[in-house]
Structure 1
Amino acid sequence: MGRNTRKRRTPMATKVVAGAAALAVGGGGLVWADFHASAHEENPAHNRTRSAAAQVATIDCPDVGQQLSGVPDRARGEVDGELATMDSQITEAYKRLATTRRAQAGDPQFVQNTILGPLKDRRKAIIDRIQLEIDRAGGRADDSLDQLAGCQGQPAEQPQNGDGQDGDGQDQDGGQNQDDNGNGAAGPVADDFIGIDDVEPDSRDSGNGPAADGDGGSTGTFTTDCGVNENNSFNSDNLIAAPGVDNGAHHVHDYVGNQDNDAFSSDEDLADADTSCRNQGDRSTYYWPVLRLQDGTEEFDANELGGGTEGNVGRILKPAQAELKFVGNQQGDVVAMPKFLRIITGDAKSFTNGEANANSSWSCTGFEDRQVTDKYPLCPEGSQVVRTSNFQSCWDGRNIDSANHRDHVAFVQEDGGCPNGFQAIPQLQVRLVYDIPTPTVENGQVQNPYAVDSFPEQLHKPITDHNDFINVMDEDLMNEVVDCINSGEDCQ
């Protein structure tokens, strides 16, 4: 399996050494909590084996990018580059954390003095540059950004910014799941999985729900068929969040639709590119982090940034199905999306940021009334794993992007309408279906777990799943999408 390549500029991201790519238990297994134990048992905890990797600590840093607003357009490129450098600093700090477990055990201040303290100083320097760049471009920098420089150590069992952190990145016994060299495992851990039968039906409104549910409004649909990445278009860039930065995502994406998708693609490049979509008027970019089966396979990126050197290991799994559908709004008609509109749904850093922007959900075919955000489902034989992302479907009517890549779009409100000042646009719904071998449990371990690619410090948590879209439909096709949805037709 190869990587889609083109001539690339000098990478801004700093290369990091391998070390955190070790699996929890070598050869693709991990210590397993007995997922067959029922919640109705008298003492279900007695039937579970605590995962050794549950004590793995990670780096928890405030997300500076999410706090930015009002960045002048001419400062956006510089600011995005600085934020990408900050992500690289966190990656390096996590690698340092994962490869110094013995030193941490011998010195309770090791993490604070040698990892978190220097990281804070480096982040403060970048924040200062961001503020200067905003001011130079005619904006007004927020002085409170300085408060976001410091990071903490977080025990892996805590799903979000939590209380009870000891500030030095260690649990009480200083332990981490380690290989023979003392390297920390990158995840996932046993507690990241759940049997689909243990998920309550209708327990979660996945992705703020389909916008066109119920009577009234615009009830049509438009489905675009763009394949399942048969062209092997992969890279670890992020054109939306880190334009111009090589390896800006620190994990690998699947791409369908537009075939010119790297960090250096301009809007003109996108408009002129080939597309994998059956309708050649759709050159939109649809991308998401790959799933991998951690079976010991060495992929094409086993020794590359974004891949094995950053803890993303194992066989890349393409979806068996990639369903891309646009739906309407409960309260009324939708308007056309502007060309080159960018939307990110979900949060690649939800494990440390918290669940506020988490939006993708997991399920199994035949059980899709059961949706879960923070666990990988274990599907019964004959059932397939399903990832679902329902995008924001309200637009501010002016901007194709925003400084934090969120403020220009919004989800519908509880009544199905858009917030004041926003217009309803077609809602993209992405449903990905995977054939994944059912994990087996042997001697308290699960063999060949699967996981989503992630930033190293996010430990492959399922809550970090996310999905990205850039609208590059031509005007005629976008008008057709709108007409189909507003007239109540089902088109493709």
Structure 2
Amino acid sequence: MKWNAIVATLGLFAPTSALLRFGCARLTVQRLDPLVNPGSNPSPHLHQIIGGDSFNVSMDPKTHDLVGLSSCTSCQFTEDFSNYWTAVLYFRAKNGTYKRVPQRAQAGMEGTQGGMVVYYMTDALFDTAQKSSVTAFKPGFRMLVGDVNYRDREQARDFRQLTFICMQDESTREPETLNFPTKPCPAGIMANHRFPTCWDGVNLDSPNHRDHVAYPESGTFESGGPCPSTHPVRLPQLLLETVWDTKAFNNKADWPEDGSQPFVWSSGDKTGYSTHADYLFGWKDDSLQKAMDAHTYVSAPMLKTQSIAEQNKCTVPDMVGEDFDSWLPKLPGNLEE
């Protein structure tokens, strides 16, 4: 199935359509990472975060109840107090200064401040039946996909389907690349983060936040590949889409003099291979499992929704006190490569 047909099937212009497909507004942008660097204020690099407003510097898994401690969520479904975050994209100008690239909402979600689009699915994105059974994440579940230190294609092969799309228009979903696009993208750069879909069934986390989950031992989630015996429990496919609005930075006369692409992750990576995302599960009660068991494709009647205006109201205070939006001589954290 071609991507434009998939987009039409998903009902791109209906915010609640497709499997579980929903928008989340920006909760905050701060140099914090309670999964990899708990308690560190600031953490090494800047992140953009969505979800429940209990997000803070530490979030000790033994004591931090995302549902119980959150009073709101920046996501469309009000039962989802999970937190999701990625690094932030910067533009590197010819004079060596940096400017944060804003995020834009996808069609049908206009008015959403920053944020991402989140998918939970039981089968491939284009499979309207969505009939397979999956086990929803459990309270306290956490995971990380990607590696901030990776800088080449071979390293990036450790993680499947962490990709970029150079969007020509709103419906562009191919081709996907593992590195940053090298040409101006008329409708922005989409970053896709697909998490592993097999769980060991025991551990809610692991020291590196990765070992308790795995990819299918053959094929992919989309092809129905089986989970390995070490990680036999099939999870929903969690996919995050972030559209970075690069239109203001598409004049190649402003790009580096050597002609290299001008975008850099807030971690200092100019290649794109370090792309990564973090997830802290926080759905209320068994609402996610019920949604997965319903096998719906274009609606989620068992879940409550809120308006984009309400999503935008859900924020957290600035805990770092750092300028990240002006033209900067260096990236926040003085990260340079």
- Which of 351, 354, 357 matches 2:151? 351
Note the alpha carbon deviations across 1:132-179, whole angstroms, 9 max, x for none.
xxxxxxxxxxxxxxxxxxxxxxxxxxxxxxxxxxxxxxxxxxxxxxxx
Q: TM-score, normalised by structure 1?
A: 0.46
- Aligned counterpart, 2:250: 439
Mapped to 1, the partners of 2:211 and 2:36 lie a distance apart of 13
Q: Distance in 2 between matches of 1:411 and 1:358?
A: 9
Q: Which runs of 5+ in 1 are unaligned?
A: 1-200, 203-219, 298-310
Which residue is equivalent to 2:176? 371
Residues 413-442 of structure 1, C-alpha deviations (whole Å, 9 max, x = no match): 324121114211111111111221253334
CA distance in 1, matches of 2:297, 2:173: 24
Match of 1:161 in 2: none
Please tell me whether the aligned partners of residues 350 and 358 of structure 1 are also in contact (alpha carbons under 8 angstroms): no
**Residue in structure 2 matched with residue 450 of structure 1 by the alignment:** 263
In the alignment, the residues of structure 2 paired with residue 345 and residue 463 of structure 1 have an alpha-carbon distance, to the nearest angstrom, of 12
Q: Distance in 2 between matches of 1:261 and 1:372?
A: 31
Equivalent in the alignment of 1:418? 227
Show structure 2 runs of 5+ residues with no match: 4-17, 107-115, 125-130, 220-224, 301-337
- Answering whether residue 200 of structure 2 is matched by residue 396 of structure 1, we say yes
Q: For residues 29-74 of structure 1, give each alpha carbon's deviation from its aligned partner in whole angstroms, at most 9, with x where no partner exists.
A: xxxxxxxxxxxxxxxxxxxxxxxxxxxxxxxxxxxxxxxxxxxxxx
* Aligned residue runs from structure 1 range 139-178, under 5 A: none
**Residues 292, 313 of structure 1: 8 Å contact kept:** yes
Using the aligned pairs only, state the percent identity: 22
1:358 shift after superposition:
4.3
> Which of 209, 213, 219 lines up with 1:405 in the alignment?
209
1:243 and 2:243 aligned: no
Distance 2:157 2:166 in 1: 24
- Partners of 1:287 and 1:391 in 2: CA distance: 13
Q: Any idea what the Cα deviations from partners look like across 1:345-379, whole Å, max 9, x if unmatched?
A: 11111128932434521112244321111233424
Instruction: Give the partner amino acid of 2:252.
Output: V
Which protein is bigger by CA-based radius of gyration? Answer: 1
Match of 2:88 in 1: 290
Residues 1:378 and 1:448: Cα distance change in structure 2 (over 3 Å) = closer
User: Could you tell me which of 124, 127, 140 is aligned with 1:340?
Assistant: 140
* Residue aligned with 1:428, SS: strand
Q: Note the C-alpha offset of 1:332.
A: 4.0
The amino acid that maps onto 1:370 is P
Secondary structure of 1:234's counterpart equals strand
Q: Secondary structure of 1:481's partner?
A: helix
2: CA distance, partners of 1:296 / 1:369:
29
- 1:270 — aligned with what? 66
Change (3 A) 1:491 1:393: farther
TM-score normalised to the size of structure 2? Answer: 0.66
CA–CA distance in structure 1, aligned partners of residues 217 and 158 of structure 2: 15
Q: CA deviation at 1:296?
A: 9.2
Classify 1:447/1:371 alpha carbon distance in 2 versus 1 (closer, same or farther; 3 Å). Answer: closer
- Which has a greater percent of helix? 1
Deviation at 1:389, TM superposition (A): 1.1
Q: Does the 8 A contact of 2:164 with 2:181 survive in 1?
A: yes
1:490 is matched with 298
**What is the CA-CA distance between 1:236 and the residue it aligns to?**
1.8
Aligned to 1:472: 282
Query: Partners in 2 of 1:235 and 1:380 — Cα distance?
Result: 26
Q: Distance in 2 between matches of 1:410 and 1:448?
A: 32
The whole-number CA distance in structure 1 between the counterparts of 2:66 and 2:105 is 26
2-side partners of 1:396 and 1:404: how far apart? Answer: 15
